[in-house]
Structure formats: structure tokens, C-alpha cells
């Protein structure tokens, strides 16, 4: 019993360091995003390059080419940096299932959710209201496109309403129009494909089970057309919001 009550301060310290690092990265990249917009960069690639290089610091006068190098130029690309990230990883379940901030979600999305199905299930589990709350200020740089890709590749007819709710919540986040305009060509195609799939998933056709229902069950289904119309109305609204032709 005494052992179970001992606090693992080392684990808590690692968790705190990971959270601070994720918050710092989010703020750094967000600031770089604003700088890039103010500079009126000519292309998305240039914009992306500025944000991805936001962790780099300018060389000082004492730094000489060809001299003894004590610090890696880009620690984010070294094997050592990778091992340090692995050392500060937090339990997937704890980070994924109950993110309280956008930084916690971003960290879980990047470190733990590597496959498309995992990302898709995480989005369904959180749902639109939770995602809208997490990203009410802004969706992190490049994240909106990744969310759309995950939804497009794995959306299922049974999840149609949930996915529409997620899309509606994302559309209400801060600077959504800006993030939408920064989607890459691949991400734009994924967004268009997602809405095409949602349109094809018509809920108006009865299933075999519904066709075999008795009169009482059929009377209970009479209320469904109204819900279906509301669902279709939401889909048409989102088509305009996401600028899908």
C-alpha cells in the first residue's frame, strides 16, 4: 500500500516538460504564422517554410563557418532530438482521451496517433462540441488539413451525422477562413472528396430492417424525415462554408 501511494515525481516532471514544450511550440509557430501573413509571402510553400523553421535562431558574430560545432544546427532533425521526445512521451490513453487544451491534443495527434484509423477514431470519440471548445481560438498551423484528410479517408455512413457535427464545429473556430485558404492542393482535394462522400451517403433510402418493420415501427419512423432534412440542410450549408464547388 505504501508503494502505491508514492508519487512518481520524475514522471510528473517529464509530463510537465512535455506540456511546456508543446505550448512553446504552438505559440512559436502561431507567431511565425502571423509574421508570414504580414510579410505577404508569395506561396504556400514559403509560408510553410517560415513556420517550420520558427524554432531556428539566427547566427551570432561568434559563430564561424568551419569552426568547432558544439550544438547541432537543427536539433529537431537529429536522432538525439528524437530520443528526447520519446523519453518525454505521456501515456496515449491519458493524453488522447481527455485533452484539456489544444496543445495537449496537438501533442497526442503528432506523437501517438500515427495511423489514419487511429486519428479518425480519436476525432469521433471527441466529437464536434469538444473539438470546437479545444480550438475556439485557432486550429494549429497545418492541423485543419490533417483533420480533413483523416475524415475523408475513413468516413463511414453510420458516422455521417457525427462527421457533419465535427465539420460544423471546426468551421466556428478562430481564423477558420485563413486556415482554410492555407490548405495544400492535396488537402483541398481531400476536403472535396469528403463532401462528395457525405453527399453520396444518402439517408433517405430505407434499410432492409426498416422495410420489414410493422405498422407501429413505421409510425415511429415518420419523425425521421424532419431530422433528415435538417441533416441535409447542414450539409448544404457546410458546402458553402468550406468553399466546395
How many independent structural domains does the chain possess? 2
Grid cell, residue 70, equals: 558544439
Same domain, 149 and 53: no
Note the pLDDT of residue 15: 78
Is the pTM higher than 0.85?
no
Has residue 160 been placed in a domain?
yes
Distance in angstroms (rounded) separating the CA atoms of residues 138 and 26: 11
Has residue 95 been placed in a domain?
yes
Contact, 180 vs 242, CB < 8 A?
A: yes
Mean pLDDT of 192-196: 96
Distance in angstroms (rounded) separating the CA atoms of residues 201 and 226: 17
Has residue 109 been placed in a domain?
yes
Would you place residue 82 in the very low, low, confident or very high pLDDT band (cuts 50, 70, 90)?
very low
Note the pLDDT of residue 223: 46
Of 165, 170, 112, nearest to 138 by C-alpha is 170
Distance, CA of 144 to chain centre: 6
Phi-psi label, residue 207: left if phi above 0, alpha if psi -120 to 50, beta otherwise: beta
Cβ partners under 8 Å of residue 161, min gap 6: 231
What average pLDDT does the chain have? 76
Kindly provide the b/e burial profile for residues 100-121, where b requires at least 16 CB atoms within 10 angstroms of the residue's own CB.
eebbbbbbbbebbbeeeebbbb
Same domain, 80 and 162: no
Note the pLDDT of residue 78: 47
Has residue 2 been placed in a domain?
no
Same domain, 77 and 95: no
Same domain, 228 and 118: yes
Same domain, 207 and 135: yes
Same domain, 148 and 78: no
Domain carrying residue 178: 91-245
Note the pLDDT of residue 224: 63
Same domain, 175 and 230: yes
Has residue 124 been placed in a domain?
yes
Q: Per-residue pLDDT tens for 88-106?
A: 444 444 434 578 888 889 8
Same domain, 13 and 111: no
Same domain, 232 and 157: yes
Q: How much of the chain, in percent, has pLDDT values that exceed 90?
A: 36
Has residue 52 been placed in a domain?
yes
Cβ partners under 8 Å of residue 196, min gap 6: none
Mean pLDDT of 123-151: 92
Same domain, 73 and 105: no
Same domain, 84 and 125: no
Would you place residue 43 in the very low, low, confident or very high pLDDT band (cuts 50, 70, 90)?
low
Has residue 1 been placed in a domain?
no
Same domain, 104 and 78: no
Write the CA distances from 73 to 52, 60, 68, integer angstroms.
14, 13, 12
Has residue 3 been placed in a domain?
no
DSSP code for 206: P
Q: Which span out of 27-31, 60-64, 190-194, 219-223 was modeled with the highest average pLDDT?
A: 190-194
Amino acid at each position: 500500500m505504501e508503494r502505491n501511494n508514492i508519487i512518481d515525481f520524475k514522471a510528473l516532471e517529464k509530463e510537465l516538460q512535455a506540456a511546456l514544450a508543446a505550448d512553446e511550440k504552438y505559440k512559436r509557430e502561431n507567431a511565425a504564422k502571423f509574421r508570414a501573413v504580414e510579410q505577404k509571402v508569395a506561396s504556400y510553400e514559403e509560408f510553410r517554410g517560415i513556420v517550420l523553421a520558427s524554432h531556428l535562431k539566427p547566427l551570432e558574430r561568434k559563430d564561424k563557418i568551419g569552426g568547432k560545432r558544439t550544438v547541432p544546427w537543427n536539433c529537431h532533425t537529429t536522432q538525439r532530438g528524437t530520443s528526447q521526445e520519446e523519453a518525454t512521451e505521456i501515456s496515449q490513453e491519458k493524453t488522447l482521451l481527455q485533452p484539456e487544451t489544444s496543445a495537449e491534443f496537438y501533442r497526442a495527434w503528432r506523437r501517438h496517433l500515427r495511423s489514419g484509423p487511429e486519428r479518425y477514431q480519436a476525432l469521433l470519440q471527441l466529437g464536434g462540441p469538444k473539438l470546437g471548445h479545444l480550438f475556439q481560438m485557432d486550429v494549429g498551423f497545418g492541423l485543419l488539413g490533417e483533420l480533413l484528410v483523416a475524415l475523408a479517408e475513413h468516413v463511414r455512413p453510420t458516422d455521417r451525422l457525427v462527421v457533419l457535427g465535427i465539420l460544423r464545429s471546426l468551421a466556428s473556430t478562430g481564423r477558420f477562413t485563413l486556415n482554410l485558404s492555407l490548405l495544400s492542393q492535396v488537402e483541398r482535394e481531400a476536403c472535396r472528396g469528403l463532401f462528395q462522400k457525405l453527399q453520396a451517403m444518402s439517408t433517405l433510402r430505407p434499410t432492409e430492417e426498416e422495410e420489414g418493420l410493422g405498422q407501429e415501427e413505421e409510425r415511429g419512423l415518420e419523425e425521421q424525415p424532419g431530422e433528415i432534412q435538417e441533416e441535409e440542410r447542414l450539409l448544404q450549408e457546410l458546402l458553402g462554408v468550406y468553399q466546395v464547388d
